[in-house]
Amino acid sequence: MIAKIFLLSLMGAAASLDRITIQSMITRPIVTAPFIGFLLGDLYIGLLAGTLMELFWMDHLPIGTYLPPNDFLVAFLVTVVAVLSRPHLFLQSPQQLVFFVTLLFLPCGYLGQKIDELLVKNNERLLERALAAAEEGNLRSLSFSHLSALAYYFLFYGATIFFLLSVGIIVVISMFPLLPPYVLKSLEMMGFLLPLVGVAATLRTINLKGTVLLFSVSFLILSTLWEWFRA
């Protein structure tokens, strides 16, 4: 288990670099979570977690200097912890587990936001060093400053993901079987409430004529596919 968590932490840290380098959108929850779920052998949990996280923070966009909550971090943690914890629990449906893990890790989106702010401040220091090296013509120091920014990001997020995965799996395996029936029933009801909150957040971002209809049709198609996968 520890070896698997370590490898997944390295994978998560490497993927998180896309947020600051290539920005190919592979760190969007709707991409990350299903892919990780597929790799771990549970595509349904990945689809469920990715859809929830994508809807939940759809209206938080990295525009200008604003750093949004780290939805990638939450989607990655929820998917991995839910999939790795599931074999240790007696479940008829993984939905309650996914919603429980989601509530557990939602604050990590804002933790990731704070981490991003600290790393941006560190990048400003490295930028000053790189500019000084460029003025001196010191290409080695310039390259080192550039690569240091990536190294800091990779190491910081690798350590963070490893710690949160380790603690999260222990907490979920220990606490979930102790939940009373009424809490489990509430988690089941969240299957209807959380998507509605996400849809409301998404509709706030729609300003173009005709896109509401397009969104509604797309949501209906995805919901149908969701139920088909679940069945």
180 torsion bin: left (phi>0), alpha (psi -120 to 50), beta (else): beta
Number of domains in the chain: 1
Domain that holds residue 77: 2-230
Task: Provide the residue-wise pLDDT of the chain in tens; the chain has 231 residues.
Answer: 788 999 999 998 888 888 777 677 788 888 889 999 999 988 888 888 888 888 777 656 655 566 778 888 999 999 999 999 988 887 767 888 888 898 899 889 888 888 888 887 877 777 777 777 777 777 677 677 777 777 888 888 899 999 999 999 999 999 888 888 878 777 777 766 666 666 655 555 555 555 556 556 666 666 677 667 666
Q: Where are the alpha helices (DSSP H) in 86-180?
A: 95-105, 107-136, 139-175
pTM of this prediction? 0.77
- At 138, is the secondary structure helix, strand, or coil? coil
Q: What is the DSSP string of 65-100?
A: T-----HHHHHHHHHHHHHHHGGGS--S-SHHHHHH
How far apart, in whole angstroms, are the C-alpha atoms of residue 71 and residue 111?
A: 10
- At 206, is the secondary structure helix, strand, or coil? coil
**Which residues have C-beta within 8 Å of that of residue 211, sequence separation ≥ 6?**
none
